[in-house]
Amino acid sequence: MIAQNFEYVVPASLGEAVSLLEKHTERAKILAGGHSLIPMMKLRLATPEFLIDISRIPELSYIKEDGGTLRIGALTTHYTIETSDLIRRRLPALSDAAGLIGDVQVRNKGTIGGSIAHADPAADYPASILAADATIVALGPRGERQILASKFFLDMLTTALARNEIVREIQIPVKSGKSGSAYLKMAQKASGFAICGAAALIELDGSGALSKVAIGITGVGSHAFRAAKTEAELKGKKPSPEVLKKACEQASDGVTALDDIHASADYRLDMARVFARRALEAAIARTAS
């Protein structure tokens, strides 16, 4: 199909983009990489009258560490995140996720800000964003607003962003102790989206016990979630195959799972338990490197 007619505008700055979005809020959409929005427009699932292309705003693409915080600009591409030495050192789970998105064309054009703002329930980034206790910095006509990742993903294709706000940056606290992280998924064969994906971030104390455990799961419910019961069960314990397996039996407790032609609800719930354990094992293995 063909998208309905729309006006295409290219702002020269983030401030101009926010002004345009404020002016045309109910009728406008932000275009970043375009790999989610353009297909929806072609199917007329999205019918904006104004398309605000922010992809040429240079100050939105960067990865840097600043005062114990990893800062990632909203227009940073999946490929840049996948291949960043800084990301691989500080949060390899995010690098894992970026490398598993779509194909090479998608990774070279798609952006982290566009992906999390779209909030597809089977997207890869949200699991790592949640596990890392990230903060999403949004910019609107009233200035900046910081949104905790735990409050950002609300439902299918729904976030805490206001209609006149743009994601500017993702901020992630840097771990200083003995830590490791990993992201693994079961992908739907045709699209590559996650039937189930799990990100684990752990820290070990001097005795080898788990001083911090965070597990984000995507692809299972209407939005990504933390496996809170498993995290609580593991904290303070020394990891072993038996301990991890038992704790991960609770990884999907209380979750209403998606049920479609790709996987049943029960299967997704079971895969959440399996991939939570596998991600934890991979994260723990990385503490030795």
Domain shared by 189 and 159, yes or no? no
Domain boundary among 125, 149, 173: 173
CA distances from 73 to 42, 230, 236 (A): 28, 31, 35
Q: Is residue 41 part of a domain?
A: yes
Domain shared by 80 and 114, yes or no? yes
Per DSSP, what are the bridge partners of residue 71?
64, 171
Helix axes 265-286, 92-99, angle to 10 degrees: 130
Considering its fold, how many domains does the chain have in total? 3
- Per-residue pLDDT band at 289 (split at 50, 70, 90): low
pLDDT at 194: 97
Per-residue pLDDT reduced to its tens digit, 41-100: 888 888 889 899 999 998 899 999 998 999 999 999 999 999 999 999 999 999 999 999
pLDDT at 26: 82
Tokens of 46: 């999205």
pLDDT at 39: 86
pLDDT at 111: 96
- Evaluated on CA atoms 67, 69, 73, 74, the torsion sign reads negative
- Per-residue pLDDT band at 25 (split at 50, 70, 90): confident
Spell out the SS3 assignment of 18-36.
Answer: HHHHHHCHHHEEEECCCCC
Bridge pairing between strands 50-53 and 28-31: parallel
Is residue 97 a contact partner of residue 126, using CB atoms and an 8 Å limit?
Answer: no
Query: Which residue in 277, 272, 230 sits closest to 255, CA to CA?
Result: 272
Note down the domain range covering 123. 58-173
Domain shared by 208 and 139, yes or no? no
Q: Taking 80 as the threshold, does the pLDDT of residue 256 lie above it? A: yes
| Cα–Cα dist 195/232, whole Å | 25
Per-residue pLDDT reduced to its tens digit, 277-286: 999 999 999 9
Mean pLDDT of all residues belonging to the chain? 94
Domain shared by 244 and 163, yes or no? no
- Non-local CB neighbours of 231 within 8 Å, separated by 6+ positions: 213, 214, 215
